Structure 1
Amino acid sequence: MFNFFKKFSKRINNSETGIFDPYIPIKLNKKIDQLEVEWVEPSFSEEHFSDIKPHKERHIPLKTLSVIFALVLISRLLTLQITHGQEYQAKSENNRLKAVKIVPPRGLIYDSSGQSLVKNTPSYSVIVQPQELPKDEGARNELLLKLSKIINVSHQELINTVNEARKNKHSETVVAEGIDREKSMALELKLNNFSGVSLEKSPIRLYSDLPSLGHITGYIGKVTKEEKDEDNSLLSTGYIGKYGIEKIYDQILRGKTGIETIEIDSFGRALRSVGNVPAIPGESIYLSLDSSLQRQTALALAEAIKKMEATSGAAVALDPSNGEVLAMVSFPYYDINLFSPNNRSKNLQKVLTDPLAPLVNRAISGQYPSGSTIKPFVAAAALEEKVITETTRVDTSAGKISVGPWTFSDWKRHGVVDVRQAIAESNNIFFYTLGGGYGDIKGLGARKLTDYLQNFGLGKITGVDLTGEAKGNIPTPEWKKRVFNESWYVGDTYNTSIGQGGLLLTPLQLAVSTSSFANGGNIYKPHFLRKYVSSSGKISEYKPEIINSNVVSKHFTQVVREGMRRVVTGGSATRTFGNFKIEVAAKTGTAQFSASKKNTHSWITAFAPYDNPKIIVAVIVEGGGTGFTAAAPVAKNMLENFFKLPITPIIPQ
């Protein structure tokens, strides 16, 4: 029995080492002289019993009590070992094991030919775990002072960053980033003895120099508190897509985080890896973007803007058979690499404060009066509603019409024309009549006109896989009352019918809607995504989506196509495309955007080949004059590049 207590006392004394012993309660994990153990008495010695003859009648109860006491003690020890053993063992393990999240490599982005548009370049970040820092404020600030000198950050800034992380209950926070491989090796040695500080891989995105690419791919940025609260799978020190393709397909690109369990010492230093759950790399995305066409479009648009002394513009190219975006340029554009952590400088600040707003993607966010590019849709609606037939002829010789005290003029006297010729010559009087009515022709009226334009997809979000798309505007009597507190007049319907007044479109909308004339009646949802591929080689392909079809009959669609073909063979685009080797159909537009007739946007939309279109383009040059002046030469260059023809110089007509 005495041997038992000696052994037990020895086990207790082991607690002086500070090592947790799962065989005894946590309360006993103290120094022996601090314990209050009622059953250990100083009288348990030979001297205590000397010269005393035990009474026979007391001998049995004493033995019995000793046995009972031993059984109770053993029972208690067994309870701790068996019942709570796993619990205490888990607590012990947690005190020496640390779970480190493994950030997966982000998926890459390629163009239609497999050319890389976005890569990952090696980079490192310094991470602080606030809960691992010294609890004492003085010691903590001393550590941060030393760290601030190593990473070249002000001491106060570092304290503020850490305190903010503690306040928001973040387990980790980034205090330095964009560190290259060479510097990271030297830095790792210096940080080795810093408790709660580590160096982690955080690759930087490196984007191609393809013009206007930033408007398409977008960029990534640090995870915010709001984003972390919304999606707990995000790392507080990680990055997430903030704009463009990077944001739309972030879930695909970022992969799944892994976890490595490492053993650490009492100073928080890693000793060894004891297991891990591998990270799953992000999937790579292949876009429909044609890099060659993108580059030529940017060059042509910039040249036209320069020669016309304009300021900005946009151009889009689609495959009308499935809605794939082949090119998209917004001018001015910017270098997306300015958003890289190690590139943020005064150049980025210039971009952010530039009055021409290069960050805005005018192809999807710019909202402009459409000018005469709206006329094919008005013609199709009037034919479908039997306002006219394809052979109806209207006398527009006067060059103007009058309604009460108001006169609505044309840009020239056209004579007697039918719908095909009216499209070719961009006859305003003819389309005033189709929209609001005049003489014997009743016209569509504001309500039907609005309905048809919206059915063609105008004044609506197209759903393209980018961020920041604007929906434009199709004016209605309700809209005018709400915005201007004025009534709607027939003159408002006239203005809408020729693409003026409150009507606003984006270049992408115009291309998407006009593609229904190119392909025979289908309106496809525009998209950049062609497919995405996992690290194991699994391919997931995008399936084209039709958002509307056959807004008007195929016959009337063909009538409109014929009118657009005449724009090239004898209308406003003849100078540009008259001798083009491939048959083109087009519609130009001149959109007035202020009281002065000199303040006009130059528009064109065109598709080719006429019999089996493979491409449709829409171009706007802000302040570029008439449609055939600036926009048409840009469209021509785009088609030349697409069909591998010699590129002609941009010469404003």
Structure 2
Amino acid sequence: MFPFSTRKNKRGKLNLHIAFDEVLVDASLHGSIDEAKPASILEKPFSRFSFFLFFTFIIFLLVFLLTRVSWLTLLQGEAYAKRAASNSIQKTVFSPPRGLIYDRKGRIIVENRWVSHENEIQRTIHDDVAFSHVIGFVGLPALEDVEKDLELYNFSAVGRDGVEYFYDEYLRGELGEQLQEVDADGIVVSEGIIRDAVPGKSIVLTLDAEFQKFAYEALSKTAAERGFQGGALIVFDVVSGEVFALISIPSFNVNLFSGGISSEEFKKLLENPSNPFFNRAIAGNYPPGSAIKPYIAVAALTENIITANKQIFSSGSISIPDPYYPGRSTVFKDWRAHGFVDMRRALAVSSNVYFYAIGGGFGDVKGLGIKKIREWLYRFGFGSVTGIDLAGEKTSVVPGPDEKQFLHPSDPIWRIGDTYHVSIGQGDVLATPIQAARAIGGLANGEYLPTLHLLKKVVDDDMTAIKEWTGTPVLLHLNKDELKIVHEGLKLAALEGTASALGSQEIPVAVKTGTAQAAEKNRTHSWLVGFAPSQEPKLGMVVFLEAGPSENQVGSVFVALQLLNWISEHGGIAELTD
């Protein structure tokens, strides 16, 4: 029997308590027990070695755990804390809506439209081709722009061309920030904005949207009907430099970029031989032809090369003896025989012989010479950028002896024939339509070269101006009496000269036409530069048509005629420039 003890609990009942140490008998105290028989084994103590192994294992385990915890806490704690936070709380940025773009009358040209099937806001231009080269387009930021401003990386769309690019810092606004709580499956369970996105500022352009659309149609239709490959058109204020219309053709559908243009469509546009992306108005370099003659005339009068009333006879050409080959001569042609012409008449009928004489010299007329010609062309802005607020403007070439050595290393000598060519806007002399516009603007106002621009003002939500365009004109220092003579010659061109189709218009104009040889054989460029009204100039105009049939001499005049008719029918110059 096993021993046990008894005791009563508080309720008087017996508790039977068996003592554990009384159940087993210490084997070491009973040497008579046969340990080989299992039934006789009652209890045997642990050896010291067993205790040593046990406690060694425990200590090793504790040291390992403490070391691991310390490593995770001290060395990797911050990394794991950030990882844990990112798993649950994420900070994201979001783009604001871009500012709108208005024309000078307050009509919306560009807005943001929600496209439900795309589940996004798209930038939309109301006329997808007429404004393409002016407005430009938006897209993901270019790498070179991100390198300059890292914040651009977070914007879903930034300006990539046109005024969208030039005034992107106003239009794009400021990024917003929000926190999102995300569960283990990546599902957003809650979110909160910590910084609101600030919408972009809107801009008001100097353009008249309706006039821009009409000008595009007039230029495009004329080019197509008369076989020209492209063209450009600029109508502007000769005093302030505000641009009312700026066109380059061919154009492209700029709204394709808002919804994401396919690689196939983009490749097709890039490989189009007519180069629709190219802004001919600000980057196209072309020989100006006779459109350069008004500036040669001003220079000749100012430098006392000729008087306004002196007449020069044009039989249809002049012949210059060849100094290297006696008995031989070089013939420089006029486009027709004009008889005796003074300066006013020479401008009106565009006599080449007259301008050969005052430019390079002939007979008893000394001529300006290439050095003076270059000085005066530079004074009127040729050979340099105008500073219009569009990216991609190119400069041009005003050639001289040094330029000829570079351009024609096989024939580097500058000859009088080269000076003759520059005097009538041929040879290596080149100009962009925007340069031609600035030059005729200076000739019209008579005091300074206006800086042509597209921005009228930057406005806030209630259309209050927060920034207005400012520019610094370049003074010309022209003699008013000499300027008046040139103006009279340009008026005569519209009345009875090369642009006589404009003489009967309600708006009196002063113009100079130009025809210049294109690179392709039997194709010519058609120019018209001018201003209106002819008495008190306010409106400047440049029309350029590229590489048309050589027999077509009136392409630019026909476009100008349509523009003047539209202006007359829509309130006149005062309404357009208001």
Q: Same fold (TM over 0.5)?
A: yes
Alpha-carbon spacing, 1:610–1:203, altered in 2? closer, same or farther (3 Å): same
Give the TM-score taking structure 2 as reference length. 0.79
Give the 3-state SS of the residue equivalent to 1:514 in structure 2.
Answer: helix
> Which residue in 1 is equivalent to 2:487?
561
Distance 2:547 2:286 in 1: 11
Distance in 2 between residues matched to 1:515 and 1:270, nearest whole Å: 60
Of residues 164, 167, 174, the one that matches 1:249 is 167
The answer for the alignment partner of 2:23 in structure 1 is: none
Report how far residue 339 of structure 1 moved.
Answer: 1.6
633-642 vs 228-237, which moves further? 228-237
**What residue in structure 2 maps to residue 604 of structure 1?**
528
Match among 332, 349, 352 for residue 428 of structure 1: 352
Secondary structure in 2 matching 1:623: strand
Q: Deviations over 1:70-106 (max 9, x none)?
A: xxxxxxxxxx9xxxx9999999766643211131111
Q: Normalising by the residue count of structure 1, what TM-score does the alignment of the two structures yield? A: 0.71
User: In structure 2, how many angstroms separate the alpha carbons of the residues matched to 1:94 and 1:219?
Assistant: 36
What's 2:132 paired with?
Answer: 214
Counterpart check, 1:585 vs 2:510: yes
Q: Among 94, 103, 108, which residue is 1:116 paired with?
A: 108
Is the 1:323–1:525 contact (alpha carbons within 8 Å) kept by the matching residues of 2?
A: yes
CA, structure 1 residues 208+514, in 2 after alignment: closer, same or farther (shift >3 Å)?
A: same
Tell me which structure has the larger Cα radius of gyration.
Answer: 2
Distance 1:327 1:210, change over 3 A: farther
- In the aligned structure 1, how far is the partner of 2:552 from the partner of 2:439? 18
State percent identity of aligned pairs: 35
User: Can you list the C-alpha shifts for 1:149-183, whole angstroms capped at 9, x where unaligned?
Assistant: xxxxxxxxxxxxxxxxxxxxxxxxxxxxxxx5356
The letter of the residue matching 2:257 is: F
Shift of 1:256: 0.8
In the alignment, which of 87, 93, 96 is matched to residue 101 of structure 1? Answer: 93
SS in 1 for 2:337: coil
- Runs of at least 5 residues in structure 1 that lack an aligned partner in the other structure: 1-32, 40-79, 123-179, 185-201, 648-653
Q: Residue in 2 aligned with 1:359?
A: 277
Out of 441, 445, 453, which is 1:519 matched to? Answer: 445
Separation in structure 1 between the aligned mates of residue 256 and residue 88 of structure 2, nearest angstrom: 42
- CA gap of 1:375–1:626, structure 2 versus 1, over 3 A, is farther
2:109 touches 2:209 (CA, 8 Å); kept in 1? Answer: no
Residues in 1 aligned to 2:250 and 2:318: alpha-carbon distance in whole angstroms? 39
Are the structure 2 counterparts of residues 411 and 254 from structure 1 closer, same or farther at C-alpha, using a change threshold of 3 Å?
same
| Corresponding residue number in structure 1 for 2:555 | 630
Asked if residue 498 in structure 1 is aligned to residue 424 in structure 2, the reply is yes
Change in CA separation of 1:471 and 1:539 when aligned onto 2, cut-off 3 Å: same
Conserved? CA contact 1:435–1:449, under 8 Å: yes
Q: Confirm whether residue 450 of structure 1 aligns to residue 374 of structure 2.
A: yes
Counterparts in 2 of 1:210 and 1:266: CA distance versus 1, 3 Å:
closer
Displacement of 1:392 in angstroms is 2.8
Q: CA deviation at 1:505?
A: 1.0
The count of residues paired between Structure 1 and Structure 2 equals 496
Q: How far 1:337 sits from its partner (Å)?
A: 1.1
1:268: Cα distance to partner? 4.0
Task: Name the CA shift for 1:363/1:87 in 2 (closer, same or farther; >3 Å).
Answer: closer
Match of 2:456 in 1: 530
8 Å Cα contact 1:456/1:548 also seen in 2? no
1: CA distance, partners of 2:311 / 2:338: 12
Q: Cα distance 1:447–1:241, how it changes in 2: closer, same or farther (>3 A)?
A: same
Query: 3-state DSSP class of the match of 1:374?
Result: helix
SS of the equivalent of 2:491 reads: helix
Is the CA contact (8 Å cut-off) linking 2:380 and 2:476 kept in structure 1? no
Q: Is the 8 A contact 2:94 2:155 kept in 1?
A: no
Look up the match of 2:116.
Answer: 181
Match of 1:273 among 186, 191, 198: 191
SS in 1 for 2:482: helix
Aligned to 2:190, what secondary structure does the other structure show? Answer: strand
User: What are the equivalent positions in structure 2 for 1:133-144 lying under 5 Å apart?
Assistant: none
Residues 553 and 541 (structure 1), Cα distance of their counterparts in 2 relative to 1, 3 Å cut: farther
CA drift at 1:539: 1.2
Which position in structure 2 is the counterpart of 1:326?
Answer: 244
Q: Alignment partner of 1:525: what SS? A: coil
**Corresponding residue SS for 1:203:** strand
**Match of 2:107, as an amino acid?**
Q
Report how far residue 593 of structure 1 moved.
2.3
Distance 1:519 1:96, change over 3 A: same
Cα pair distance change 1:639/1:479, threshold 3 Å = same
Report the residue type matching 1:622 in the other structure: E
Q: Distance in 2 between matches of 1:447 and 1:627?
A: 34
Partner Cα distance (2:65, 2:272) in 1: 81
The counterpart of 1:301, out of the listed 219, 226, 247, is 219
Contact residue 424 and residue 564 of structure 1 kept, 8 A: yes
1:501-560 CA-to-partner distances (Å, cap 9, x unmatched) read 001111121111111122223211111111111236541343342431225323222221
Q: Which amino acid aligns with 1:218?
A: G
Counterpart residue identity of residue 479, structure 1: E
* Aligned partner of residue 158 in structure 2, secondary structure: strand
- In structure 2, how many angstroms separate the alpha carbons of the residues matched to 1:336 and 1:302? 17
Specify the SS of the correspondent of 2:473.
Answer: strand
Cα distance change on mapping 1:637 and 1:550 into 2, 3 Å:
same
Report the 3-state secondary structure (helix = DSSP H, G, I; strand = E; otherwise coil) of the residue aligned with 2:362.
coil
Q: 1:572 aligns with which of 477, 489, 498?
A: 498
| 1:423 Cα offset (Å) | 0.8
Counterpart of 2:540 in structure 1 is 616
Match of 2:180 among 258, 262, 266: 262
TM-fit CA distance, 1:253: 0.6
Relative distance call for 1:88 and 1:443 in structure 2 (3 A) is: same
Q: CA deviation at 1:441?
A: 1.9
Closer, same or farther in 2 for the Cα pair 1:536/1:100, shift >3 Å? farther
> Which residues of 2 match residues 152-167 of structure 1 at below 5 A?
none
Instruction: Give the corresponding residue for 2:334.
Output: 410
Residues 227, 398 of structure 1: alpha-carbon distance in 2 compared, 3 angstrom cutoff: closer
Aligned in 2, Cα 1:275/1:603: closer, same or farther, shift over 3 Å? closer
